[in-house]
């Protein structure tokens, strides 16, 4: 159901309620707003519940890489007065071979609050990604991204340096006519593969499909294992070209739509994407989204 105002959304969750959301990278201005979150926090308290804002640390080495770093960024982004819990990477439960956050799994109920926006991997980031990547600890995130980590064929490399320039976290270096990649820090974004014009940097043909499969498997594994109630809200406001992991997520690509709620995360995301497409048929990479949707449906 679509709501124009967040105040109108019924929230019936009780006990220790985790509001799972992305609180934005440092400098990002388009993440879910603290004032919207405050409305939901107050509703949960009115029901006698105890709300927490929760998220996990990132795979890429920016400020949200550590619990302490993420807490600082959450404060800077306006969430300081709310109860923020950043899950520890060493507290996990392995389901379907992927390490999920045991701290989030241990909450009584869950509000999956997702900012609907473009995403470099899945084309749209919403509820499924908020669980399948967002409720997974660092090792699990690495496993999901692993198929898209670059492979390197030295015999095709002309040492042009394009891959190094394209890497957003500077983990490719050319020293003494040798290229080195620190794959321990890689986040599988494939920018280096796209930048390489000789085929020296490559990923297997079905790498993206494999990552999509692991991501949706993680989301479904989490939902199946979670014992309490789950409510989903997609915030379709400030719909940017890129995700909230970017300090600058690019331009807004679609007028604000409102707040979409439902109890099936994939259906909610599909409806969100359809609404965006109606507003702007060029807003997102819809072909990539449809590929993700097709793969995710195997698990949902
Ligand atoms: S872009 Fe390709 S050819 Fe150029 S340095 Fe990187 S791997 Fe080598
Ligand atoms: S995939 Fe390539 S560009 Fe992206 S983080 Fe890894 S090494 Fe850097």
Say if residue 135 is in the same domain as residue 155. Answer: no
Whether residues 156 and 267 fall in one domain: no
- Which residues, at least 6 apart from 14, have a Cβ–Cβ distance to it below 8 Å? 44, 47, 48, 49, 108, 109
Tell me which residue has its CA closest to atom 6 in ligand 2: 186
Same domain (yes/no): 284, 213? yes
Residue 92, beta-bridge partner list: 101
Q: Please tell me whether residues 68 and 186 are part of one structural domain.
A: no
| φ/ψ (deg, to 5) at 91 | -115, 95
Residue-number span of the structural domain to which 172 is assigned: 150-202
Among residues 178, 202, 226, which one ends one of the domains?
A: 202
Asked whether 275 and 257 are in contact (CB, 8 A), the reply is yes
Q: Taking the CB of residue 52, how many other CB atoms lie within 10 A of it?
A: 19
Residues 37 and 106 both lie in one domain: yes
3-class state of residue 16 by DSSP: strand
- Ligand 2: atom nearest CA of 148 is 1
Ligand 1 pocket, 198 CB below 6 A? yes
pLDDT in the model for residue 83: 95
Q: What is the DSSP letter of 155?
A: G
Domain count, the chain: 2
Residue to mutate, 141, 167, 170, 211, ligand 2, most ligand atoms under 8 Å from C-beta: 167
pLDDT at 184: 85
| Cβ atoms of 136 and 46 closer than 8 Å | no
251 and 277 together in one domain: yes
| Residues 99, 226 within the same domain | yes
Ligand 2 first shell, C-beta below 6 A: 150, 166-167, 169, 171-172, 181, 186-192
Q: Which residues of 26-42 are buried (b: 16+ CB within 10 A; e: fewer)?
A: eebebbbbbebbbebbe
**Where does the chain have alpha helices with state H?**
34-46, 67-74, 102-105, 127-132, 138-145, 162-166, 191-195, 207-225, 265-279, 286-296
Provide the angle, in degrees to the nearest 10, between the axes of the packed helices 207-225 and 138-145: 140
CATH number of residue 262's parent domain: 3.40.50.11440
Indicate whether 67 and 107 sit together in one domain: yes
In this structure, the answer to whether residues 168 and 24 fall within a common structural domain is: no
**83 and 216 assigned to the same domain:** yes
Q: What is the mean pLDDT of each run of 10 residues along the chain (300 residues)?
A: 96 96 96 97 96 95 94 97 96 96 97 96 95 97 94 97 94 96 88 95 94 97 96 97 92 96 96 97 95 96
Q: What's the pTM value of the predicted model, to 2 decimals?
A: 0.92
Positive/negative CA dihedral, 207, 181, 132, 114 = negative
Last residue of some domain: 202, 218, 242? 202
Mark residue 24 as left, alpha or beta (left: phi above 0; alpha: psi -120 to 50; beta: remaining): left
Q: Tell which one of 165, 183, 201, 203 to mutate to probe ligand 1, the residue whose CB is within 8 A of the most ligand atoms.
A: 201
Question: Domain holding 188: CATH number?
Answer: 3.30.70.20
pLDDT of residue 47: 92
pLDDT at 168: 84
pLDDT of residue 121: 87
């Amino acid at each position: 159901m679509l709501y124009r105002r967040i105040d109108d959304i019924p929230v019936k969750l009780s006990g220790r309620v985790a509001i799972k959301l992305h609180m934005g990278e440092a400098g990002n201005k388009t993440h879910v707003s603290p004032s919207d979150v405050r409305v939901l926090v107050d509703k949960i308290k009115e029901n006698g519940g105890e709300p927490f804002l929760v998220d996990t640390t990132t795979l890429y080495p920016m400020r949200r890489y550590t619990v302490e770093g993420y807490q600082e960024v959450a404060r800077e982004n306006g969430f300081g007065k709310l109860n923020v819990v950043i899950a520890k990477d060493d507290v996990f439960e392995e389901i379907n071979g992927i390490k999920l956050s045991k701290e989030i799994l241990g909450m009584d109920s869950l509000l999956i609050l997702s900012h609907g926006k473009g995403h470099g991997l899945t084309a749209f980031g919403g509820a499924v990604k908020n669980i399948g990547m967002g409720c997974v600890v660092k090792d699990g995130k690495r496993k999901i991204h692993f198929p898209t980590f670059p492979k390197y064929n030295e015999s095709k490399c002309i040492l042009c340096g394009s891959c190094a320039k394209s890497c957003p976290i500077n983990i490719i270096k050319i020293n003494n006519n040798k290229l080195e990649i620190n794959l321990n820090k890689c986040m599988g974004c494939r920018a280096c593969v796209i930048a390489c014009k000789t085929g020296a940097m490559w990923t297997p043909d079905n790498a993206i499909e494999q990552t999509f499969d692991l991501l949706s498997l993680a989301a479904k594994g989490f939902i199946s294992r979670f014992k309490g109630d789950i409510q989903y809200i997609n915030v379709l406001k400030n719909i940017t070209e890129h995700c909230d992991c970017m300090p600058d997520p690019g331009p807004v690509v679609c007028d604000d739509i409102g707040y979409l709620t439902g109890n099936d995360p994939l259906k909610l995301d599909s409806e969100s994407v359809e609404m965006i497409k109606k507003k702007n048929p060029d807003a997102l990479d819809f072909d990539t989204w449809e590929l993700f949707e097709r793969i995710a449906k195997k698990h949902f």
